[in-house]
Structure 1
Amino acid sequence: MHVETVMIHVRFAPDGTVTEIGERPAAVPAQAWFNLLSLKATGPYQALAGGRGVFRLARSEIESLKGEVAA
């Protein structure tokens, strides 16, 4: 069985706050979505150079987390 893995790109401001993040529900601020992923995501997070990072998560996990914030 193939599990679709999605990369969620994160971009940070110089002060460490999140300015952009992928797969974010429209009603959720970028920082709040990052915080939720940091607390609840089971996939790895990788810090990158230049104020960037990436989560690697299963599509089903992303949809589940989106459901949590919509409730």
Structure 2
Amino acid sequence: MSSNAVVIHVRFAPDGTVTEIGERPTSFSAQQWYDKLCNAFAASFMALSGGRGVFRLTAEEVSALKTTALQ
């Protein structure tokens, strides 16, 4: 993983909804931000045990998504 990598942690409730997620703009709910990330970077998501997962992205990808999402 490169030095400009960003790992966004996601935590899911037992019903599959997102309860916590990193790098989230304040104008989005946790679920809305997860949906945006999935639509743009589904292949970068890795499911983990215990109702968790991570997106592994570059800082540029995160910045670009935040910019377009807030417009």
- Give the alignment's Cα RMSD to 1 decimal: 1.5
Q: Give 1:69 deviation, angstroms.
A: 1.5
Q: Which residue of 2 aligns with 1:65?
A: 65
Q: Counting helix residues as a fraction of each chain, which structure ranks higher? A: 2
Deviations 1:7-34 (A, max 9, x none): 0000000000000000000111110100
Secondary structure at 1:41's aligned position in 2?
A: helix
For 1:10, the aligned partner's letter is V
Q: Counterparts of 1:12 and 1:55 in 2: how far apart (Å)?
A: 14
TM-score, structure 1 length as denominator?
Answer: 0.91
CA distance in 2, matches of 1:41, 1:3: 19
- Check if 1:48 corresponds to 2:48: yes
Residues in 2 aligned to 1:69 and 1:56: alpha-carbon distance in whole angstroms: 18
Does the C-alpha gap of structure 1 residues 26 and 20 become closer, same or farther in structure 2, counting only changes over 3 Å? same
Identity %: 51
Instruction: State the TM-score, normalizing by the size of structure 2.
Output: 0.91
**In 1, Cα distance between the equivalents of 2:43 and 2:6?**
10
Structure 1 unaligned blocks of 5 or more? none
Report the residue type matching 2:27 in the other structure: A
Q: How many residues align?
A: 70
1:43 Cα deviation (Å)? Answer: 5.5
